Homo-oligomer: A and B are copies of this chain.
Amino acid sequence: MARQNTVFKEAYNRYAVALRTDTALPSEPEIAAQLGVSRSTARAILTRLSEEGIIRWNKRQKIVLRQPTDHDLFPSEETDSLHDIIERSFMQRILADDAAPGMQINELELAREIGTGTTSVREFLIRFSRFGLIEKRPNSHWTLKGFTREFALELADVREMFELHSAAEFGRLPRDNQSWADLAAMRDEHHAMLADINQRFKDFSVLDERFHLLIHRASKNRFIADFYDAIAIVFHYHYQWNKTAARQRNERAIHEHLDYIAALESGDQAAIDAACRAHLHSARQTLLQSLPQIATETA
């Protein structure tokens, strides 16, 4: 098989769950735009909905006959894109305890284990290499550099340079910019989480990511944005694996964020710089503490 129709299946599920009996559906281009797919895929969805008796479809008339049940949806294994499957599978291997730095990565073996072709694995590895966790020797294998202390320090250094820059840019945004409203909303979210910290401290990592993303967007710099994407993915898996969601540490981070937000809102560049530095310093400590204790770089 050349390609799985995961785009179709995933979009079908997404559209099906939102259907309400007796409502009429909009035009094909509109559905396609809503779902973020091409009209071809949108039509495939309508065709299937029609075949399943969920809608009655005749040209412009598209009436929802019945609410789709869980039974109508495609199982989640079939809706994940191959890229996501490979990413998950690979990250698990990388973060597993037996993945020692210096280890070789074998494309064919990876592909077989994931149950996919080598081309997709290769392309994933090429894309993934920008995160600095693996490295290729030309005409030869990939090497796992690993989530080591060196990696964490290099990452933290760049992160600090970028965030200080972005925070300063944020402080210079005109007051009518949407970002200020977003920041205010985020301040409230922080307060809400703090009020119920014992229950919700585990949700912090998601809020943290959104907060820093908001700051970084102010820089309007593609290299900074790309780097933050990389950080976000690496951290996402790293913290998922290392369940070091210490309540105390997160509470402290929330307070730092609130100070940081206050500094941004003050517009005082010196205050912004200080608050940003303070938070980045403790974020660095958190990162270093979350490392597997033994790992050290091997040449």
Contact = CB atoms under 8 A, between A and B. Distances in A.
B127 A223 contact: no
Contacts of A222: 132, 151, 154
Give the size category of A's interface with B.
20 to 34
B221 A158 contact: yes
A223 B154 contact: yes
Contacts of A221: 154, 157-158
A5 to B, nearest CB: 11
Contacts of A126: 123, 126-127
A51 to B, nearest CB: 24
Interface string A220-239: 11111011000000000000
Nearest to A7: B139
A223 to B, nearest CB: 5
Nearest to A151: B222
A155 interface: yes
A130 B226 contact: yes
Interface of A: 7, 38, 119, 122-123, 126-127, 130, 132, 139, 151, 154-155, 157-158, 161-162, 165, 219-224, 226-227
Given A154-B223, A157-B221, A161-B162, 5 more contacts: A122-B123, A123-B126, A154-B221, A157-B165, A158-B224
